[in-house]
Amino acid sequence: MSQTDRKQLFDRWAEYYDSTIAPDRYPFDGYDQVLDAAFRLAEVSPSMQVLDLGTGTGNLALRFVQAGCAVWGVDFSAAMLAKAQAKLPRSVLVRADLSGDWPTELQRRFDRVVSAYVFHEFDLETKVKLLHRTAAQNLAVGGRIVVADIAFARVEDRTKASQEWSDCWDSGEFYWAADEACVACARVGLQVTYEQVSSCGGVFTFTDEGPG
């Protein structure tokens, strides 16, 4: 699928995204609990500057707004951003492709960078490159990146899940396995911890160990 086709797909999905999340089964099992865990692991305080990558309709970003943080959101779907703007009227929302060049509004440092249900769109190499670039260029000293997504603790768990949910498993997406992701991220100087929250959802916390 081309990038243009993907944008059109997400623009159409924006209208009913929130109503189609099924929080009791794959791939959104425990959806709210996963977002709550991401918020908890971010350990924010009021007035912190937070960047939400792939903000979608704003469900994760809203938690940080309610905690008194200043929130920036970025997404490649104009329709998703329109939905987010209704929830986040005081936030700065920017249309951009995460894997491309970021606009000037995002050329700054943030106390926290967060994301939910986005990174599975990218293969492991692209995930690591995006995380490394973000840590190097956008993360304030002492900051952290927190990513909630469809994820599994081990490669073998992901393989088992693909068999269990074969009728609805999307083979065109790149679901995390924490064991392989931690090894790949360590190679570029990212320290990683992982927490499994639901049968198919988990949260990664990344900190920058220095030049990698």
42: CB partners within 8 A, 6+ apart: 50, 64, 112, 114, 144, 146
Q: What's the pLDDT at 171?
A: 92
* Rounded Cα distance, 33 and 52, in Å: 18
Q: Are 60 and 40 in contact (CB under 8 A)?
A: no
Strands 190-196 and 201-208: antiparallel
Q: What's the pLDDT at 12?
A: 86
* Rounded Cα distance, 130 and 94, in Å: 17
* pLDDT interval class at 208 (50, 70, 90): confident
Please say if the pLDDT value at position 132 is more than 70: yes
Bridge partner list, 115: 53, 147
Preceding amide of 23 cis, omega within 30: no
Q: Are 10 and 80 in contact (CB under 8 A)?
A: yes
* Helix, strand or coil, per DSSP, at residue 65: helix
Q: Of 72, 18, 67, 75, nearest to 42 (Cα)?
A: 67
Preceding amide of 211 cis, omega within 30: no
Q: What's the pLDDT at 38?
A: 98
Taking residues 13-23, what's their average pLDDT?
A: 85
- What count of Cα atoms within 13 Å lies in the side-chain half-sphere of residue 37? 20
Kindly list the distances between the CA atom of residue 191 and the CA atoms of 15, 27, 137, 156, 182, in Å, as whole numbers in the listed order: 37, 26, 16, 22, 8
What pLDDT, in 10s, does the model give residues 134-184?
A: 999 999 999 999 999 999 999 999 999 999 999 999 999 999 999 999 999
* Rounded Cα distance, 29 and 117, in Å: 12
Q: What's the pLDDT at 55?
A: 97
Provide the token pair at 101: 């060049």
Higher-confidence residue: 72 or 22? 72
What whole-number percentage of the chain has pLDDT above 70?
96
Lowest mean pLDDT among 3-12, 109-118, 121-130, 165-174: 3-12
What pLDDT, in 10s, does the model give residues 27-56?
A: 999 999 999 999 999 999 999 999 999 999
**Which architecture characterizes domain 24-208 according to CATH?**
3-Layer(aba) Sandwich (3.40)
* Rounded Cα distance, 152 and 108, in Å: 32
DSSP H/E element including 172? none
Domain boundaries, the chain: 24-208
Q: What's the pLDDT at 7?
A: 73
* Helix, strand or coil, per DSSP, at residue 17: helix
